[in-house]
Structure 1
Amino acid sequence: MEFFTWLNTPVFELLGKPVPWSDFLGNICALATVYLALRRLIWSWPVQILGSVLLFSASVSAHLGGNASRQVVIIAAAIWGWTTWRRSQQEKGEIRVRWATWPERIGLIAALVLGTLGFGYVLAVGGWSWNPYPDAYIFIGSLVAMYAQGRAIVEFWFVWLAVDLVGIPLAVMGGLVFSGAVYFVFLVMVIVGMVDWARRSRQTIASPTSGAATLDGREDPPGA
């Protein structure tokens, strides 16, 4: 109990708002996760799990029920993604990034819209969030993005971008000012990742037997 109490004690103040250790360390892990995903490193998944544990504690203390629930499901989704990438590494030694098909895109959008409406209603009825639908949007958007990431689909960066645009004001209004500031950094990293994965996807289409993006960030030489 003392450890969890310490996690939610302030480490510093930002714009007059206290920033607890859980929010600070959790967002450091979140930044590291995005960087590792950009480099296509499998370590992005365990780092994401650690960050989610820390951010769960921060969200509970800020009465963001949707965001807290999001962290629990993100841990489960990260375990799935970690397993998927490890299997690909063992079987193929690489992860080929690609653009989604139109049916996949429609499925991602439908899951985002319907999931947000459904979960937002649950949060509103249960009184588990002070701003239920934006809270639900971030929760569902994170799951959709992680599913797309696990499938190595370029569109996962677009979903993260949409989540960040809502996450910035929601985090600030909820008192998690540091989280809001980190979301700005996410925006830059997401755009960089979007461009990089899109470029690699085109390379894979042009030369499907060479130059595929690998899990450790290197490219296989032709004929490998």
Structure 2
Amino acid sequence: MNWAEAGFEVLGTRVLWTDLVGNVAALATVLLAIRKSIWTWPVQLTASVLLLVASVNAHITGNALKQLMFGTLAVYGWWRWTRGTQDGRELAVRPATARERLGLVGVMLAGTAVIGVIFFVTGLSWGAHAPLPEGYLLVAADAYIFVGSAVATWAQGRALVDFWLIWIAVDLVGVPLAFSSGLVVSGAVYGVFSVLVLVGFFNWLQEYRSRTVLVLKEAT
């Protein structure tokens, strides 16, 4: 047995180390992001690699593609945050502008439509194999989560407070979808993730407001 297949049994269920450690690392990235730690990116990259291996090993192509996307965006975010913290500077977070928000929403809508068609035609989404018309809704939800995750991670790389809101919008679909599909553990993990996301949003927003007030005081 190679390392990608290494694991252990829990109540008759095979648990792969790559899947377990990858998900723990993915959850850790949220905690690190709340603290604006640059370590959130290498940890996310590690999680993506481990979950990619787990997905390929389980022959889940759609999830493997998602991990490739996360890994690529983790490199981008790492580069952006490194630039933003050069010379000992603290990472400056800010809300997105009206134009940026319009762009984020537009990409999510258009991206969901395009990716949804690709997922359905290629069968990459598990929903493509479900009876119609339910299959259409499942594929759309799968595509929405895929695109929303990409947009949120990209916005995080640019230190936009709004990235937390995008994750909340993704979880509003992801959590009930997981529970309705019988994935109770995944639904519970997404639920914890949602709580951490709310904490992160308020922390980043409070920091931005405090910094803005300080700048205004210094200007006067």
- TM-score band, normalised by shorter chain: 0.7 to 0.9
Q: CA deviation at 1:119?
A: 0.7
Give % identity: 48
Q: TM-score, normalised by structure 2?
A: 0.83
Whole-angstrom distance in 1 between the partners of 2:149 and 2:114: 15
Q: CA deviation at 1:200?
A: 0.9
Q: 1:62 to 1:141 in 2, by over 3 A?
A: farther
Whole-angstrom distance in 2 between the partners of 1:45 and 1:87: 13
Q: Which letter maps to 2:64?
A: A
Whole-angstrom distance in 1 between the partners of 2:144 and 2:103: 16
Q: 1:92 to 1:122 in 2, by over 3 A?
A: same
Check if 1:158 corresponds to 2:152. Answer: no
RMSD over aligned Cα, in angstroms? Answer: 2.5
Tell me the residue number matched to 1:116: 112
Q: CA deviation at 1:136?
A: 1.6
Contact 1:81–1:150 (8 Å) recurs in 2 = yes
Q: Mean alpha-carbon deviation: is it higher for 147-156 or for 199-208?
A: 199-208
- The match for 1:12 among 7, 10, 13 is 10
Check if 1:44 corresponds to 2:51. Answer: no
User: Number of aligned pairs?
Assistant: 207
Q: Mean alpha-carbon deviation: is it higher for 194-203 or for 131-140?
A: 131-140
Whole-angstrom distance in 2 between the partners of 1:98 and 1:85: 13
Q: TM-score, normalised by structure 1?
A: 0.82
Q: 1:68 to 1:118 in 2, by over 3 A?
A: same
Q: 1:23 to 1:174 in 2, by over 3 A?
A: farther
Q: Which letter maps to 2:74?
A: A
User: SS of the residue aligned with 1:111?
Assistant: helix
Contact 1:23–1:176 (8 Å) recurs in 2 = no
Equivalence map 1:190-209=2 (5 Å): 190-208=197-215
Q: 1:41 to 1:80 in 2, by over 3 A?
A: same
Gaps of 5+ in 2: 128-138
Whole-angstrom distance in 2 between the partners of 1:65 and 1:82: 26
Whole-angstrom distance in 2 between the partners of 1:45 and 1:18: 29
